[in-house]
Structure 1
Amino acid sequence: MPLYKMTLAYDGTAYQGWQVQPERDTIQQRVQAALTRMAKSSVDVVAAGRTDSGVHAFGQVAHFQLVREILPEGILRGLNTMLPEDIRVRTVAEAKPEFHARYSARSKTYRYRLECAPVPLPFTSRFTLHYPYELDREALTRGACAFAGEHAFDAFRASSCNAKTTTRTVLASRWLDDGSELIYEVTATGFLQHMIRNMVGTLLEIGRGKRAVESIPHLLERGDRTEAGPTAAAKGLTLIEVHYA
């Protein structure tokens, strides 16, 4: 059975996340249904990461197998014909037999976008959190740097997170200034449920002077979710890229 790798982009606003759920509209369900229709047999799609409800992707990666070989360009064209406009398949290619979208990944990069203008633009409101408050940029930068390295992120995971281990390695953590937008970009070997959104919520409290930068090492050591900042809205978060060897 031929194995394929694809890259997807999607607007997660209308969906209950990536993973198939009973009686819920999800990205995985839509993609599997389109592939099953194309292949005329059941197809399972495995993604690099299971984005939460309302979270977007520019570079989600997934793999799937078909019972018969179809040219990648035919799959690409067919899927983008059948899928809704808020889900696009950017690339399709045949993959090596050992490739696995999740387990072959070395790291992932996400971005969280803030719209800092007094009045948010209607063109970006689905993908940014409107945050028109004065922020201490130096404190934000120092706070972002405090997350770098290997840590147990118990204080930054959702209460419903059932990951067996909470230790993750943050390879890069920084803020990007893009005019009226302020973007938090983070690359790590993996992420826990709500981890980035809880990190952003904590960083924003630092930026507004509500907590000290030094609270981050304390939170990482203590592991108490109740001491960290609020969970930032899902709509500001986008999976940008999945990195492979």
Structure 2
Amino acid sequence: MKNVKLTIEYDGTGFHGWQRQEKERTVQEEIEKALSKIIKKKIVVHGSGRTDAGVHAMGQVANFVETFSIPVEKIPLAANALLPDDVAIKEAVEVDMKFHARYSATGKKYIYKIYNSSLRSPLYRNYAYFVPNVLHMEAIKEASKFFWGEHDFYAFMASGSNVKDTVRRIDSLHVYREGEIMTIEVAGNGFLYNMVRIIAGTLVDVGKGKILSKDIPQIILSKDRTRAGHTAPPQGLYLAEVFYEKN
């Protein structure tokens, strides 16, 4: 019996999210179909968490437990030959039987990309949030500092979640710009439903002057979703990395 940790990359454009769903194309289903063929057993993988339709991943992590003969290091090459072009296994390693992609995770890093130009780009339409307005970077950077640390992020959680504990810790949040692309990098010990997209939307609203940088602490304390900014669309979001304790 082996426990295998997979690192997976995918373009979320053509998927209805990560989690297997009836009658919908999902990343989990594609991975399970490919693994089941090469291992010749029904394989069920456990992901580090869900990603919504249109959201991409550079470093999604999943694991599965099964008895099989194929060398673990050969799994990516064998599976990728069967997987569609918009998803690939980047690495497969055998790990301790106690490891679980979701429950062993200690944190995650996300990247959110904004295409900020007066003219839209067809090339970025599925990979960044198009914002034609002038965005004031200094105001955005000032606002970003207030998200650092441990807070109750209820105001930055979308409806539809039944999570009771809404306290999360953000370890870093950096905003930088290269040409027309503005990138938000955020890492923390966990994220609420649509939390990163709401933070991104709030920072865009700060950049437009709709929300003042100095008001961010009060918005966090208010626990009022209506006071935070809009939810940025899914195509700008990338799951960059999942963190685990080093053995």
Superposed, which structure 2 residues align to 1:40-55 within 5 Å? 40-55=40-55
Tell me whether 1:196 sits opposite 2:166 in the alignment.
no
2:156 corresponding residue in structure 1: 156
1:13 corresponding residue in structure 2: 13
Check whether the contact 1:136–1:207 (CA below 8 A) recurs between aligned residues: yes
Check whether the contact 1:36–1:42 (CA below 8 A) recurs between aligned residues: yes
**RMSD of equivalent CA atoms:** 1.3
What CA distance in whole angstroms lies between the structure 1 residues aligned with 2:114 and 2:120? 10
What CA distance in whole angstroms lies between the structure 2 residues aligned with 1:214 and 1:53? 33
Check whether the contact 1:2–1:69 (CA below 8 A) recurs between aligned residues: no
SS in 2 for 1:88: strand
Tell me by how many angstroms 1:214 deviates. Answer: 2.4
Tell me by how many angstroms 1:34 deviates. Answer: 1.4
Tell me by how many angstroms 1:124 deviates. Answer: 2.8
1:177 corresponding residue in structure 2: 177
Tell me by how many angstroms 1:118 deviates. Answer: 2.8
Question: Any idea what the Cα deviations from partners look like across 1:62-113, whole Å, max 9, x if unmatched?
Answer: 1111222321232111210111100011111111222221222221110100
Superposed, which structure 2 residues align to 1:33-112 within 5 Å? 33-112=33-112
Counterpart amino acid of 1:56?
Answer: H
1:244 corresponding residue in structure 2: 244
Q: Percent identity?
A: 39
Question: Any idea what the Cα deviations from partners look like across 1:211-239, whole Å, max 9, x if unmatched?
Answer: 11122211211111122111100000001
State the aligned residue count.
Answer: 245
Tell me by how many angstroms 1:40 deviates. Answer: 1.8
Question: Any idea what the Cα deviations from partners look like across 1:106-152, whole Å, max 9, x if unmatched?
Answer: 21110100112333443332111111221111110011111111111
Counterpart amino acid of 1:99?
Answer: F
Check whether the contact 1:116–1:133 (CA below 8 A) recurs between aligned residues: yes
Tell me whether 92-101 or 186-195 shows the greater mean CA deviation: 92-101
Superposed, which structure 2 residues align to 1:108-123 within 5 Å? 108-123=108-123
Give the structure-1-normalised TM-score. Answer: 0.96
Tell me whether 1:225 sits opposite 2:211 in the alignment.
no
Give the structure-2-normalised TM-score. Answer: 0.95
SS in 2 for 1:119: coil
Structure 2: runs of 5+ lacking an equivalent: none
What CA distance in whole angstroms lies between the structure 2 residues aligned with 1:50 and 1:113? 19
1:144 corresponding residue in structure 2: 144
Structure 1: runs of 5+ lacking an equivalent: none
1:2 corresponding residue in structure 2: 2
What CA distance in whole angstroms lies between the structure 2 residues aligned with 1:69 and 1:176? 47
